[in-house]
Structure 1
């Protein structure tokens, strides 16, 4: 594998797409379906990025396995139903995301990838809805321990043959940053996501997507 290759990994929810309304709505439906008090919006957004069973356990810590399993299924059903109705509008791309991906995709030594708490089906549907074909590695919750375990990043590195020092992890939550640090890659936080910026402890921060390409050139200037 060419040692000049660089891997740019993205989280999805809260980083590339604004899915907070969809996530809050689906979790609200799931809790109501079980007759449980609905967690606050801030509590629901705090678990974005975790695998769904762990997210539900965090939000309903006193409930047993059967209820957690029912919450997971209720969330999936609500999320998929709404997505089928709304299409791409269900989780719209953040401003500048498409243009940024197009710019990075033209750089010969850059490989683009995804490391997300979404399921394989959820990610594939979103990519199809937005016509995104630039990702050469797609790591999802189905095949890995939940973030912040480094498995997603490590597998993406193995698949692409890129060394950790030539990889960045871009995300909006502490789970993304902790995962990146655990895998030994450079972390980049976006300021528009679902966790307060001060919690992320990222190596770098961007406030809009136009800042990313110059930042990557600076990180990899040597």
Structure 2
């Protein structure tokens, strides 16, 4: 009998392509304080951080009151677009549904999430795609310090009773990989997200397509050859 293993996914840039909503909502945030939106690459570089940390990083010269106004503007803009556009506005990446459903069907595999999203936003996304039932533990920005602090992963392991040697974090940003390392677990970096490969050097393994993920998980956690 195979020992239980914990596979934890990031969301934005890993499971779903949310960049359209993120960029538009961040434009709302900057408009709320009369400031122009930074370049696209700069905005996407902070995806994965908790919103408060992301705003402070993007607008370091603004005041705490202005940051608060920006956070409110972002949340309002993101929520209105989600409600107007529905699940089609934040599509899953190709092959991701099959990967999640396939891993969830394995008796020895437990799935989790660690994301900078709020629980409200995460549940709306997962429910829209019919995936919430597959995730046993869901860790969000509401309850933890921002990535790369390992709090989300430590709590996911505590929830499931599975240790770091049998756990892996799958994500697209340096924040995900650094969080995994801080928690003592392996990290698999995906090649379709928001951080370039050169920033993902701390990953245990890299994959270019979703189809490679199951083999990578086997290789990292069970010493099996990746397909």
TM class, shorter-length: over 0.9
Question: What is the DSSP-based 3-state SS (H/G/I as helix, E as strand, rest coil) of the residue aligned with 2:136?
Answer: strand
Q: Deviations over 1:17-52 (max 9, x none)?
A: 000111001001111121012111111100000000
Runs of 5+ in structure 1 lacking a partner? none
2:108 equivalent to 1:109: yes
Q: Distance in 2 between matches of 1:216 and 1:167?
A: 9
Question: What is the DSSP-based 3-state SS (H/G/I as helix, E as strand, rest coil) of the residue aligned with 1:114?
Answer: strand
Please report how far the alpha carbon of residue 215 of structure 1 lies from its aligned counterpart in structure 2 after TM superposition: 1.7
Q: Distance in 1 between matches of 2:73 and 2:119?
A: 18
2:206 equivalent to 1:205: yes
C-alpha RMSD over aligned residues: 1.2
Runs of 5+ in structure 2 lacking a partner? none
Q: Deviations over 1:136-190 (max 9, x none)?
A: 0000000000000000000000000001000000000000000000000000000
Corresponding residue of 1:217: 218
Corresponding residue of 2:48: 49
Q: Deviations over 1:53-74 (max 9, x none)?
A: 1100011000010000000000
2:166 equivalent to 1:166: yes
Please report how far the alpha carbon of residue 3 of structure 1 lies from its aligned counterpart in structure 2 after TM superposition: 8.4
Corresponding residue of 1:14: 13
Please report how far the alpha carbon of residue 218 of structure 1 lies from its aligned counterpart in structure 2 after TM superposition: 2.0
Question: What is the DSSP-based 3-state SS (H/G/I as helix, E as strand, rest coil) of the residue aligned with 2:60?
Answer: coil
Question: What is the DSSP-based 3-state SS (H/G/I as helix, E as strand, rest coil) of the residue aligned with 2:215?
Answer: helix
Contact 1:3/1:162 (8 A) holds in 2: no
Corresponding residue of 2:180: 180
Calculate the TM-score normalised by the size of structure 1.
0.97
Q: Distance in 1 between matches of 2:214 and 2:32?
A: 44
Contact 2:167/2:221 (8 A) holds in 1: no
Calculate the TM-score normalised by the size of structure 2.
0.95
The 5-angstrom pairing of residues 80-159 of structure 1 reads: 80-132=79-131, 133-159=133-159
Provide the aligned length of Structure 1 versus Structure 2: 221
Instruction: Give the ranges of 4+ consecutive aligned residues of structure 1 lying more than 3 Å apart after TM superposition.
Output: none
Q: Deviations over 1:96-129 (max 9, x none)?
A: 0001111111111000000000001110111111
